[in-house]
Structure 1
């Protein structure tokens, strides 16, 4: 089985190393802090062979050059990563397939936070690295995309198997929870989730990864197609409701 090592980076990022023990290949999922990644790999005696970027922001691709210089790995990501100065060795887009050892990885367009944002989905491992497209109880700010575009991206995530583990890039869950309770106050499953989050964070543990099934039931942004949410937020359709939610969250 694939091994995922998760560790804290910067102020609230998570770093991920994805390791295939059969081939020995190891991928960095985004690169917020090159030194932290290199140290984590050394501690596990893993050789970094790949970097997979989800989007171009410096807290996701800023460590590319240093990690590549230290390991001679291959950098894979959307074309927009070139905005940080160096193009990926392999540019990928929606529908492309890449590999880690014998594991097949599907590239999914989840743009909206940025226009080239992608996720990496490994069906046989039942997991996805979603960057800043979706968080536990939230989604990324819409810095570059449109509401139609972002909602289409969230629909692609919603279409994955409910058992999929979502590896989000930040520990934003407590902040997202406060807005989710405001946005969807009568959701009993959300209140149960809130109690769980409180216990997990009080113990100093991460709330990530999360399961898609839990997010489908509690994440207000993924519920923009729910009639109750549309009634509460005045949206006549999912895009309008998503827009209202995203606008409200931006100033919450």
Structure 2
């Protein structure tokens, strides 16, 4: 109830509920109604869809007021996808880090504002690891520490080579070996480019190899394994 009051006005009943003077006059059924409503509000606190709805409304109101216009701020709904293995994780990370390059807002990944790769590079230049980002801990092994199962040099090389293929002014192919991470994940070159330029359209609710998609569908009690064809074609 109190969180709702901070973000929204709440209902007339909830406003009376949080007021010590007015609450004592509420009937038992009214108090029960507020408590049931509070349960709904608590669930919204960890609901991504509700968070994005609230965020979109706030930004849209501000943007429309500034531009003297109306309508939605974002073109479409957001997508929430589960990343089930290292292949999907690497592809999604590169996809997001290269968004500014694809949008022609930056010439290189290291000059892309508001990206994790730029943040990691700036920290690495002074010999530090970003505190707000999950660290790279190297190749998968026994007694694996908590972190991303790659090395930072491998990931930087991966993103750099990928960016050369999708950069609008560099249409030719780079004639050198594929990065170590691609060989380790056993993803073919053409398939990797598809993943890192069309990641959101390749998968639905979850992304990963077929075996992981099947396990995900089983855990979610889904009769169909969504994304099976994309997984077989792109991730092997």
Q: Normalising to structure 2: TM-score of the pair?
A: 0.26
Q: Which gives a bigger RCO, structure 1 or 2 (Cα 8 Å, sep 6+)? A: 2
Q: By percentage of residues, which structure has more strand? A: 1
Q: Normalising to structure 1: TM-score of the pair?
A: 0.25
Q: By percentage of residues, which structure has more helix? A: 2
